[in-house]
């Protein structure tokens, strides 16, 4: 799904099929090969934008989803954003080589809050420059003040991020239309917005899309499109 800044496109999506806007997510600890297989088959069957899987399962997901049009996505430095830059770059390169077509990356929120802005920016830029796949930056907005959030967006964009994401998961905070609208307002043309965190209902997805989200990440995708009972969202 390419980023869009067209409000009409987002409004139409809010009233239409939601699956193409959802990145179907399975990242909990202990996930098995069969669970990953089922997850990828679901993504293909229902037409989700991508299957988001742990790094160890990227190659498996690539094999299952080959030719389906569903992307393979994964996360780097998740969930804490505390890796060294070298470690993060190595992980990103390995996942891209294994078949990841998009990478959501953790960031050094503590450095940003400590005034270490150059270090924060350079860490993101190192990953962006290390791989050719789009990088989504998990900004952890619920942990930041308004001024810190504005600076986080500015630094991520300067670092070359192709996507901005409000948070890494519901453990940080539930995605809100206000967060999405904030990111959309500050995002330059060509930079997408992904919403994540505690998204469990179709109503939430529609509200987030209407606020400006290009994509939504959730493990409750099947329930949201009416294909399965509701479950936990990550």
Whole-angstrom CA distances from 174 to 75, 140, 195, 208, 225 are 19, 11, 9, 11, 19
- Count CB atoms within 10 A of the CB of residue 83: 18
Angle at 63 between CA 59 and CA 67, to 5 degrees: 135
| Contact (Cβ atoms closer than 8 angstroms) between residue 214 and residue 7 | no
Catalytic residues, which ones?
104, 165, 194
| Contact (Cβ atoms closer than 8 angstroms) between residue 18 and residue 224 | yes
């Amino acid at each position: 799904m390419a980023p869009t800044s067209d409000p009409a496109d987002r409004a139409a999506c809010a009233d239409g099929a939601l699956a193409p806007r959802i990145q179907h997510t399975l990242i909990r600890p202990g996930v098995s090969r069969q669970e990953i297989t089922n997850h990828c088959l679901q993504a293909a069957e229902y037409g989700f934008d991508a299957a988001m899987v742990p790094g160890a399962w990227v190659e498996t997901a690539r094999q299952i989803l080959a030719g389906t049009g569903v992307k393979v996505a994964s996360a780097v430095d998740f969930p804490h954003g505390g890796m060294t830059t070298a470690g993060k770059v190595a992980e990103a390169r390995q996942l891209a080589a294994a078949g990841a077509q998009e990478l959501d990356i953790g960031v050094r929120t503590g450095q940003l809050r400590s005034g270490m802005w150059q270090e924060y920016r350079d860490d993101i830029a190192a990953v962006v420059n290390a791989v050719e796949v789009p990088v989504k930056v998990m900004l952890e907005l619920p942990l930041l003040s308004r001024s810190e959030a504005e600076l986080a967006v500015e630094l991520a964009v300067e670092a070359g991020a192709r996507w901005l994401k409000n948070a890494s998961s519901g453990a940080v905070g539930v995605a809100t239309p206000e967060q999405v609208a904030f990111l959309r307002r500050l995002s330059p043309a060509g930079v997408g917005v992904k919403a994540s965190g505690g998204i469990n209902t179709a109503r939430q997805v529609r509200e987030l899309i209407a606020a400006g989200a290009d994509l939504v990440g959730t493990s409750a995708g099947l329930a949201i499109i009416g294909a399965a009972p509701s479950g936990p969202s990550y």
